[in-house]
């Protein structure tokens, strides 16, 4: 279907299919899927040599091809295994394609903007899902904040000068939460990175100075 609509965009096409699924897609299911936000599609693996791919991109592209088709387009159902000459020929081509070296890579399908609505639909979605979408799309990650820039730049420069090696400081910064130190100290170090809470003597007096770090060194303010 995709190949036919791609190669004959301006021609009058009458497609005969023995698949009720394909017929249903063109009789309104594609529009219904768009209305519902293309949700809950399974991932399929077309061949053992290729990773699983979502059907969403394929169906969105199929709707785009139907919308943008410049000729007459009609899809009708025909009964399978009735010794129809054309149906038998198509079955042979399909079986040959399955065992052949050429496969359809869904990532190569280009759907032009404006033809298909790919945005998620918020109808009947649980509150937790809506909040997750808002946080994911609207809240920038902390390390992309300009407040982290001085710390990341300083640490990167130090590593290059002291060890002559580049370091992706943004990748390692979150590991402060797994350091073997007091939980409160982890939080204060994180806040200190962004300059929101400088370490002061009043806080230092609350530390248990007998506690040792993983390198057997006393937790003095200089060591911290």
Same-domain check for residues 76 and 167: no
Do residues 55 and 30 lie in contact, with contact meaning Cβ atoms separated by under 8 Å? no
**96 and 190 together in one domain:** no
Secondary structure class of 6 (helix, strand, coil)? helix
Residue 78 lies in a domain: yes
Question: What is the domain count for the chain?
Answer: 2
Q: What pLDDT does 12 receive?
A: 92
Residues 6+ apart with CB under 8 A from 177: 186, 190
pLDDT tens-place values along the chain, 224 residues long: 888 888 888 899 998 888 888 888 899 888 888 887 777 666 665 555 666 667 888 888 899 999 999 999 999 888 877 777 777 887 787 777 767 666 666 667 788 888 888 876 766 677 887 787 777 767 776 777 777 788 888 888 888 888 887 777 777 787 888 888 777 778 877 877 777 755 555 555 555 555 555 556 665 555 55
* Beta carbons within 8 Å of 68's beta carbon, 6+ residues apart: 9, 112, 115
Is residue 156 assigned to a domain?
A: yes
Structural domain includes residue 121: no
Predicted local distance difference test score (pLDDT) of residue 106 = 65
User: Has residue 220 been placed in a domain?
Assistant: no
Range(s) of the domain holding residue 14: 2-108
Do 100 and 153 lie in a common domain? no
CATH of the domain at 69: 3.30.420
* Same domain? 27 vs 83: yes
Is 125 part of a structural domain of the chain?
no
To the question of pTM greater than 0.75 for the whole model, the response is no
47 shares a domain with 89: yes
Q: Is residue 23 part of a domain?
A: yes
pLDDT at 202: 56
Q: How far is CA 199 from the centre of its chain?
A: 39
Is residue 91 located within the same domain as residue 179? no
Whether residue 96 sits in one domain with residue 25: yes
> Is 203 a member of any domain?
no
87 and 16 part of one domain:
yes
Q: Does residue 79 lie in a domain region?
A: yes
**What Rg do the C-alpha atoms of the chain give, in angstroms?**
29
Are residues 86 and 172 both part of a single domain? Answer: no
User: Quick one: pLDDT at residue 64?
Assistant: 92
User: What's the rounded Cα separation, in Å, for the pair 47 and 67?
Assistant: 29
Is residue 182 within 8 Å of residue 211, measured between CB atoms? yes
């Amino acid at each position: 279907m995709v190949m036919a609509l791609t190669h004959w965009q301006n021609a009058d096409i009458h497609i005969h299919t023995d698949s009720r699924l394909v017929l249903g897609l063109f009789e309104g299911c594609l529009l219904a899927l768009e209305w519902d936000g293309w949700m809950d599609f399974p991932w399929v693996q077309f061949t053992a040599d290729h990773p699983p791919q979502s059907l969403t991109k394929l169906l969105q592209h199929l709707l785009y091809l139907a919308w943008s088709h410049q000729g007459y387009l009609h899809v009708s159902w025909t009964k399978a295994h009735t010794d129809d000459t054309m149906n038998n020929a198509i079955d042979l081509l399909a079986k040959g394609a399955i065992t052949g070296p050429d496969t359809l890579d869904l990532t190569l399908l280009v759907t032009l903007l404006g033809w298909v609505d790919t945005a998620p639909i918020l109808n009947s979605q649980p509150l937790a899902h809506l909040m997750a979408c808002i946080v994911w799309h609207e809240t920038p990650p902390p390390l992309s904040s300009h407040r982290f820039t001085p710390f990341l730049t300083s640490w990167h420069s130090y590593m290059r000068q002291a060890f002559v090696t580049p370091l992706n400081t943004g990748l390692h910064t979150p590991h402060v939460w797994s350091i073997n130190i007091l939980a409160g100290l982890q939080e204060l170090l994180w806040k200190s990175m962004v300059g929101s809470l400088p370490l002061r003597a009043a806080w230092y007096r609350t530390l248990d100075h007998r506690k040792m770090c993983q390198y057997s060194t006393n937790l003095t303010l200089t060591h911290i």
